[in-house]
Amino acid sequence: MLGKKTSYSEGTVNDLSRLKQRYEGKAKKVFATNDPELFIVAYKDDATAFNAQKKGTILNKGIVNNAVTAKIFAMLEAKGIPTHFIKKLNEREQLVRAVKIIPVEVIVRNFAAGSFAKRYGVDEGCPLEPTVVEWCYKSDVLSDPPMNDDTAIALGWATAAELSELRELSLKINSLLSEFFRVRSLRLIDFKLEFGRTASGDIVLADEISPDTCRLWDSRSGERLDKDRFRRDLGDVEAAYQEVMKRVLGEVNAGV
Ligand code: UDP
Protein backbone atom coordinates (compact mmCIF):
# COMPACT_ATOMS: atom_id res chain seq x y z
CA MET A 1 0.00 0.00 0.00
CA LEU A 2 2.92 2.29 0.62
CA GLY A 3 3.54 2.31 -3.11
CA LYS A 4 0.05 3.53 -4.13
CA LYS A 5 0.40 6.21 -6.80
CA THR A 6 -1.35 9.42 -5.81
CA SER A 7 -1.28 13.06 -6.76
CA TYR A 8 -0.14 13.77 -3.20
CA SER A 9 3.59 13.94 -2.63
CA GLU A 10 5.67 14.48 0.44
CA GLY A 11 5.78 18.18 1.21
CA THR A 12 2.23 18.69 -0.04
CA VAL A 13 0.58 21.55 1.80
CA ASN A 14 -3.19 21.18 1.69
CA ASP A 15 -5.78 23.87 2.00
CA LEU A 16 -7.87 21.77 4.38
CA SER A 17 -10.71 24.30 4.25
CA ARG A 18 -11.32 23.14 0.65
CA LEU A 19 -11.65 19.48 1.67
CA LYS A 20 -14.74 17.86 3.14
CA GLN A 21 -14.22 17.03 6.81
CA ARG A 22 -15.44 13.49 7.46
CA TYR A 23 -14.84 13.35 11.16
CA GLU A 24 -13.31 15.25 14.05
CA GLY A 25 -12.00 13.21 16.97
CA LYS A 26 -10.31 14.28 20.16
CA ALA A 27 -6.81 14.37 18.64
CA LYS A 28 -7.30 14.28 14.86
CA LYS A 29 -9.45 15.44 11.98
CA VAL A 30 -10.12 13.23 8.97
CA PHE A 31 -10.76 14.74 5.53
CA ALA A 32 -12.11 13.21 2.32
CA THR A 33 -10.04 13.82 -0.83
CA ASN A 34 -10.99 13.82 -4.51
CA ASP A 35 -10.03 10.12 -4.51
CA PRO A 36 -12.69 8.07 -2.64
CA GLU A 37 -10.00 5.58 -1.60
CA LEU A 38 -7.93 8.20 0.22
CA PHE A 39 -8.33 10.27 3.38
CA ILE A 40 -6.07 12.93 4.87
CA VAL A 41 -5.59 12.80 8.64
CA ALA A 42 -4.60 16.05 10.40
CA TYR A 43 -3.10 15.78 13.90
CA LYS A 44 -4.06 18.37 16.52
CA ASP A 45 -2.42 19.50 19.78
CA ASP A 46 -5.66 18.95 21.74
CA ALA A 47 -5.34 16.47 24.58
CA THR A 48 -8.06 14.77 26.57
CA ALA A 49 -8.02 12.19 29.34
CA PHE A 50 -10.51 10.27 31.45
CA ASN A 51 -13.05 10.20 28.63
CA ALA A 52 -12.65 13.89 27.92
CA GLN A 53 -13.37 15.00 31.50
CA LYS A 54 -9.87 16.50 31.46
CA LYS A 55 -9.04 18.71 28.48
CA GLY A 56 -5.93 20.62 27.49
CA THR A 57 -3.29 21.23 24.89
CA ILE A 58 0.15 19.68 24.53
CA LEU A 59 2.26 22.05 22.44
CA ASN A 60 3.35 20.42 19.17
CA LYS A 61 1.79 17.07 20.10
CA GLY A 62 0.24 16.88 16.62
CA ILE A 63 3.68 17.17 15.03
CA VAL A 64 5.11 14.47 17.30
CA ASN A 65 2.22 12.04 16.88
CA ASN A 66 2.15 12.46 13.09
CA ALA A 67 5.90 11.82 12.83
CA VAL A 68 5.93 8.92 15.31
CA THR A 69 2.88 7.23 13.75
CA ALA A 70 4.29 7.64 10.22
CA LYS A 71 7.61 6.07 11.19
CA ILE A 72 5.98 3.17 13.09
CA PHE A 73 3.31 2.40 10.49
CA ALA A 74 5.97 2.34 7.72
CA MET A 75 8.04 -0.05 9.87
CA LEU A 76 5.03 -2.31 10.48
CA GLU A 77 4.11 -2.34 6.75
CA ALA A 78 7.69 -3.29 5.91
CA LYS A 79 7.36 -6.22 8.36
CA GLY A 80 4.16 -7.47 6.71
CA ILE A 81 1.40 -5.84 8.81
CA PRO A 82 -1.34 -4.37 6.58
CA THR A 83 -2.03 -0.74 7.57
CA HIS A 84 -4.01 2.22 6.26
CA PHE A 85 -0.88 4.37 6.12
CA ILE A 86 0.36 5.63 2.75
CA LYS A 87 2.63 8.59 3.45
CA LYS A 88 3.33 11.57 5.65
CA LEU A 89 2.47 14.73 3.71
CA ASN A 90 3.75 17.48 5.98
CA GLU A 91 4.30 18.25 9.67
CA ARG A 92 0.75 17.56 10.78
CA GLU A 93 -0.88 15.58 7.96
CA GLN A 94 -0.69 12.11 6.54
CA LEU A 95 -2.36 10.36 3.62
CA VAL A 96 -4.16 7.12 4.48
CA ARG A 97 -6.42 4.56 2.82
CA ALA A 98 -10.10 5.24 3.39
CA VAL A 99 -11.40 2.64 5.86
CA LYS A 100 -14.41 2.15 8.12
CA ILE A 101 -13.16 1.87 11.68
CA ILE A 102 -14.19 -1.34 13.47
CA PRO A 103 -15.63 -0.19 16.82
CA VAL A 104 -13.44 -2.59 18.78
CA GLU A 105 -10.47 -0.97 20.55
CA VAL A 106 -7.73 -3.51 21.16
CA ILE A 107 -5.71 -2.99 24.34
CA VAL A 108 -2.45 -4.95 24.59
CA ARG A 109 -0.71 -5.13 27.96
CA ASN A 110 2.84 -6.35 28.66
CA PHE A 111 2.94 -4.85 32.17
CA ALA A 112 0.11 -3.82 34.49
CA ALA A 113 -0.69 -0.10 34.47
CA GLY A 114 -3.55 2.39 34.46
CA SER A 115 -7.08 1.05 34.65
CA PHE A 116 -5.86 -2.60 34.66
CA ALA A 117 -3.68 -2.10 37.75
CA LYS A 118 -6.58 -0.32 39.48
CA ARG A 119 -9.19 -2.94 38.45
CA TYR A 120 -7.22 -5.91 39.76
CA GLY A 121 -5.39 -4.19 42.63
CA VAL A 122 -1.90 -4.92 41.31
CA ASP A 123 1.19 -2.70 41.20
CA GLU A 124 1.92 -0.74 38.05
CA GLY A 125 4.90 -2.27 36.25
CA CYS A 126 4.06 -5.85 37.30
CA PRO A 127 4.94 -8.07 34.27
CA LEU A 128 2.06 -9.89 32.56
CA GLU A 129 2.78 -13.34 31.18
CA PRO A 130 1.16 -14.12 28.79
CA THR A 131 0.57 -10.71 27.25
CA VAL A 132 -3.02 -9.62 27.94
CA VAL A 133 -5.26 -8.65 25.00
CA GLU A 134 -8.53 -6.90 25.89
CA TRP A 135 -11.38 -5.42 23.85
CA CYS A 136 -13.26 -2.20 24.54
CA TYR A 137 -16.30 -0.93 22.62
CA LYS A 138 -15.27 2.31 20.86
CA SER A 139 -17.91 4.75 22.08
CA ASP A 140 -17.22 8.19 23.53
CA VAL A 141 -20.73 8.51 24.98
CA LEU A 142 -20.39 5.17 26.80
CA SER A 143 -16.73 5.81 27.82
CA ASP A 144 -15.33 2.84 25.82
CA PRO A 145 -16.70 0.00 28.03
CA PRO A 146 -14.74 -3.29 28.19
CA MET A 147 -16.41 -6.22 26.43
CA ASN A 148 -15.76 -9.87 25.59
CA ASP A 149 -15.94 -11.78 22.30
CA ASP A 150 -19.58 -12.82 22.68
CA THR A 151 -20.67 -9.21 23.19
CA ALA A 152 -18.81 -7.99 20.10
CA ILE A 153 -20.31 -10.80 17.98
CA ALA A 154 -23.85 -10.59 19.41
CA LEU A 155 -23.99 -6.83 18.86
CA GLY A 156 -22.59 -7.13 15.32
CA TRP A 157 -19.37 -5.17 15.84
CA ALA A 158 -17.09 -7.95 14.56
CA THR A 159 -17.34 -11.61 13.58
CA ALA A 160 -15.60 -14.41 15.46
CA ALA A 161 -13.15 -14.77 12.55
CA GLU A 162 -12.41 -11.04 12.60
CA LEU A 163 -11.76 -11.10 16.36
CA SER A 164 -9.25 -13.94 15.85
CA GLU A 165 -7.56 -11.91 13.12
CA LEU A 166 -7.47 -8.78 15.34
CA ARG A 167 -5.93 -10.78 18.18
CA GLU A 168 -3.30 -12.40 15.96
CA LEU A 169 -2.37 -9.11 14.26
CA SER A 170 -2.23 -7.29 17.61
CA LEU A 171 0.15 -9.85 19.13
CA LYS A 172 2.40 -9.66 16.06
CA ILE A 173 2.36 -5.85 16.25
CA ASN A 174 3.20 -6.12 19.96
CA SER A 175 6.33 -8.18 19.24
CA LEU A 176 7.49 -5.78 16.52
CA LEU A 177 6.73 -2.67 18.58
CA SER A 178 8.29 -3.98 21.80
CA GLU A 179 11.56 -4.60 19.95
CA PHE A 180 11.33 -1.28 18.08
CA PHE A 181 11.03 0.58 21.37
CA ARG A 182 13.51 -1.64 23.26
CA VAL A 183 16.39 -0.61 21.03
CA ARG A 184 15.37 2.99 21.69
CA SER A 185 15.58 2.48 25.47
CA LEU A 186 11.82 2.54 25.89
CA ARG A 187 9.75 -0.13 27.63
CA LEU A 188 6.38 -0.72 25.98
CA ILE A 189 4.01 -1.13 28.91
CA ASP A 190 0.68 -1.19 27.09
CA PHE A 191 -1.06 0.34 24.07
CA LYS A 192 -4.31 0.66 22.17
CA LEU A 193 -4.91 -0.25 18.53
CA GLU A 194 -7.77 0.40 16.14
CA PHE A 195 -8.41 -1.44 12.90
CA GLY A 196 -10.48 -0.59 9.84
CA ARG A 197 -12.16 -2.40 6.96
CA THR A 198 -11.29 -1.35 3.41
CA ALA A 199 -13.96 -1.21 0.69
CA SER A 200 -12.97 -4.75 -0.31
CA GLY A 201 -13.39 -5.96 3.30
CA ASP A 202 -9.72 -6.37 4.22
CA ILE A 203 -8.76 -5.59 7.80
CA VAL A 204 -5.92 -3.11 8.18
CA LEU A 205 -4.32 -1.35 11.14
CA ALA A 206 -5.64 2.24 11.36
CA ASP A 207 -5.63 5.24 13.74
CA GLU A 208 -2.29 6.09 15.40
CA ILE A 209 0.54 4.66 17.49
CA SER A 210 2.06 7.45 19.58
CA PRO A 211 2.71 8.58 23.17
CA ASP A 212 -1.06 9.30 23.30
CA THR A 213 -1.91 5.64 22.76
CA CYS A 214 1.09 3.79 24.25
CA ARG A 215 2.59 3.78 27.73
CA LEU A 216 6.35 4.12 27.30
CA TRP A 217 8.76 4.07 30.23
CA ASP A 218 12.43 4.92 29.95
CA SER A 219 14.26 1.57 30.21
CA ARG A 220 16.84 2.83 32.69
CA SER A 221 15.10 5.40 34.88
CA GLY A 222 11.53 4.09 34.55
CA GLU A 223 10.45 7.66 33.82
CA ARG A 224 7.09 7.90 32.07
CA LEU A 225 7.38 9.38 28.58
CA ASP A 226 3.73 9.28 27.51
CA LYS A 227 0.28 10.76 28.06
CA ASP A 228 0.30 9.74 31.74
CA ARG A 229 2.39 12.92 32.28
CA PHE A 230 -0.69 14.88 31.15
CA ARG A 231 -3.28 12.58 32.80
CA ARG A 232 -1.51 12.69 36.18
CA ASP A 233 -0.10 16.24 36.05
CA LEU A 234 3.50 14.99 36.24
CA GLY A 235 4.90 18.02 34.38
CA ASP A 236 7.32 18.18 31.44
CA VAL A 237 4.64 16.81 29.11
CA GLU A 238 5.94 18.50 25.95
CA ALA A 239 9.53 17.48 26.72
CA ALA A 240 8.47 13.83 27.10
CA TYR A 241 6.71 13.84 23.71
CA GLN A 242 9.76 15.47 22.09
CA GLU A 243 12.04 12.87 23.67
CA VAL A 244 9.94 10.02 22.27
CA MET A 245 10.01 11.61 18.81
CA LYS A 246 13.79 12.05 19.02
CA ARG A 247 14.30 8.40 19.93
CA VAL A 248 11.80 7.08 17.37
CA LEU A 249 13.25 9.09 14.49
CA GLY A 250 16.89 8.89 15.55
CA GLU A 251 19.68 6.42 14.98
CA VAL A 252 19.42 3.35 17.18
CA ASN A 253 21.92 1.42 19.18
CA ALA A 254 20.73 -2.16 18.57
CA GLY A 255 22.81 -3.38 21.50
CA VAL A 256 20.74 -1.45 24.05
N1 UDP B 1 -5.69 3.98 25.55
C2 UDP B 1 -5.94 4.82 24.49
N3 UDP B 1 -7.22 5.28 24.30
C4 UDP B 1 -8.26 4.93 25.11
C5 UDP B 1 -7.99 4.07 26.19
C6 UDP B 1 -6.70 3.61 26.39
O7 UDP B 1 -5.07 5.15 23.70
O8 UDP B 1 -9.40 5.38 24.87
C9 UDP B 1 -4.32 3.46 25.76
C10 UDP B 1 -3.64 4.09 26.97
O11 UDP B 1 -2.86 5.20 26.59
C12 UDP B 1 -2.77 2.97 27.47
C13 UDP B 1 -3.54 1.70 27.10
O14 UDP B 1 -4.42 2.09 26.05
O15 UDP B 1 -1.53 2.95 26.77
C16 UDP B 1 -4.30 1.09 28.24
O17 UDP B 1 -5.10 2.07 28.84
P18 UDP B 1 -5.98 1.76 30.15
O19 UDP B 1 -7.05 0.79 29.79
O20 UDP B 1 -5.09 1.39 31.27
O21 UDP B 1 -6.77 3.08 30.42
P22 UDP B 1 -6.35 4.41 31.14
O23 UDP B 1 -5.61 4.04 32.39
O24 UDP B 1 -5.54 5.14 30.14
O25 UDP B 1 -7.68 5.03 31.39
Nearest residue (CA) to ligand 1, atom 5:
192
Model pLDDT, residue 18 = 81
Q: Is the pLDDT of residue 1 over 70?
A: no
Residue 255 lies in a domain: no
Q: Are residues 92 and 113 in the same domain?
A: no
Flag whether 84 is in a domain: yes
Question: What pairing do the DSSP bridges indicate for beta strands 38-43 and 21-24?
Answer: unpaired
This prediction's pTM: 0.94
For 96, phi then psi, to 5°, come to -135, 160
- Considering the domain architecture, whether residues 228 and 117 belong to the same structural domain is answered as yes
Same domain, 223 and 115: yes
Domain residues for the domain of 34 are 13-99
pLDDT digits (tens, 9 = 90+) for 57-103: 999 999 999 999 999 999 999 999 999 999 999 999 999 999 999 99
Look at residue 246 and tell me if it is in a domain.
no
On whether both 118 and 227 belong to a single domain, the answer is: yes
CB 96 within 8 A of CB 84: yes
Angle between helices 160-182 and 61-78 (to 10 degrees): 110
Look at residue 197 in the predicted model and tell me its pLDDT: 97
| Residue 142 CA to ligand 1 centre (angstroms) | 15
**pLDDT above 90 coverage of the chain, percent:** 89
Instruction: Give tens-digit pLDDT for 95-128.
Output: 999 999 999 999 999 999 999 999 999 999 999 9
What's the mean pLDDT in 238-253?
94
Q: Residue 135 forms beta bridges with which residues?
A: 106, 147
- Indicate if 94 and 144 belong to the same structural domain: no
Q: Looking at the structure, do residues 89 and 105 belong to the same domain, yes or no?
A: no
Structural contact between residues 90 and 12, judged by C-beta atoms closer than 8 angstroms: yes
Probe target for ligand 1 pocket from 138, 170, 213, with the most ligand atoms within 8 Å of CB: 213
Q: Are residues 176 and 224 in the same domain?
A: yes
CATH number where 42 lies: 3.30.200.20
Number of domains in the chain: 2
* 107 in a structural domain: yes
Return d(Cα 76, Cα 62) in angstroms, integer. 21
pLDDT at 3: 54
> Are 131 and 177 found together in one domain?
yes
**CB of residue 114 inside a 6 A radius of ligand 1:** yes
Claim to verify: residue 121 and residue 217 sit in the same structural domain: yes
Are residues 40 and 131 both part of a single domain?
A: no
For the chain, the average pLDDT equals 95
Look at ligand 1, atom 23, and give the residue with the nearest C-alpha: 114
Three-state DSSP state, 108: strand
- pLDDT tens figures, 20-67: 999 999 999 999 999 999 999 999 999 999 988 999 999 999 999 999
Q: Which residues of 106-121 are buried (b: 16+ CB within 10 A; e: fewer)?
A: bbbbbbbbeebbeeee
The rounded Å distance from CA 192 to ligand 1 centre is 6
